[in-house]
Amino acid sequence: MKTKALRILIVVIILSTLLSTATHASQTSSAYIAITNAYITRSGDDVNVYFYIVGRDIYMDKIGATEIRIFEQNGTTWSRVKTFDSNDSQYTSAMIDTNSGVLSSHVTYTEGSASKNYYAIVYFYAEKDGGSDTYNHDTPVSYGTTP
């Protein structure tokens, strides 16, 4: 009964997240990763990268994002301006979870500019019983305000 309730809760979370975002989730053919999604929101100069991953099992050994790279456009060139790494202790709890089947989280780049365009690449990861898989997901571009 507890397992059934947990599965129902996971389905509700997944559906509410899918229906509340303007981007499309990616389904994978992975034995470890079922669904991923990532998108950017802006608040002034802050660039927020929201992401979620759903594993193929209710209890994955590890699940989340190992790295998130944020890129900024200058003219016609895109340059990486920030990398969030799950091995950095200040980001681990936001990026990786253990013994869970779902992780929904975000990171914030606070040195952005409201007038610039940004996108991110999220490097997803899931591990179970010694096996693992990765999947990369590019966000849509978040356009800045016109000065």
CATH number for the domain that contains residue 17 = 2.60.40
Task: Phi first, then psi: give them for residue 6, nearest 5 degrees.
Answer: -65, -40
d(CA 92, CA 89): 5
Domain annotation covers residue 145: no
Q: Which H or E element spans position 68?
A: strand 60-74
Q: Please answer whether residues 25 and 36 qualify as being in contact, where contact means their C-beta atoms are separated by less than 8 angstroms.
A: yes
For 6-15, 34-43, 84-93, which range has the lowest pLDDT when averaged over its residues? 6-15
pTM of the model: 0.81
pLDDT in tens, 71-116: 999 999 999 999 999 999 999 999 999 999 999 999 999 999 999 9
- Per-residue confidence band for 122, with pLDDT thresholds at 50, 70 and 90: very high
- Quote the pLDDT of residue 21: 45
Residues 6+ positions from 31 with CB-CB distance below 8 Å: 56, 131, 133
Mean pLDDT of 4-32: 60
Count of structural domains, the chain: 1
- Quote the pLDDT of residue 145: 82
pLDDT above 70: residue 18: no
Domain annotation covers residue 147: no
Domain coverage including residue 6 = 2-138
Domain annotation covers residue 143: no
The gap from C-alpha 71 to its chain's centroid, in whole angstroms, comes to 15
d(CA 92, CA 72): 24
d(CA 54, CA 147): 39
Domain annotation covers residue 146: no
pLDDT above 80: residue 49: yes
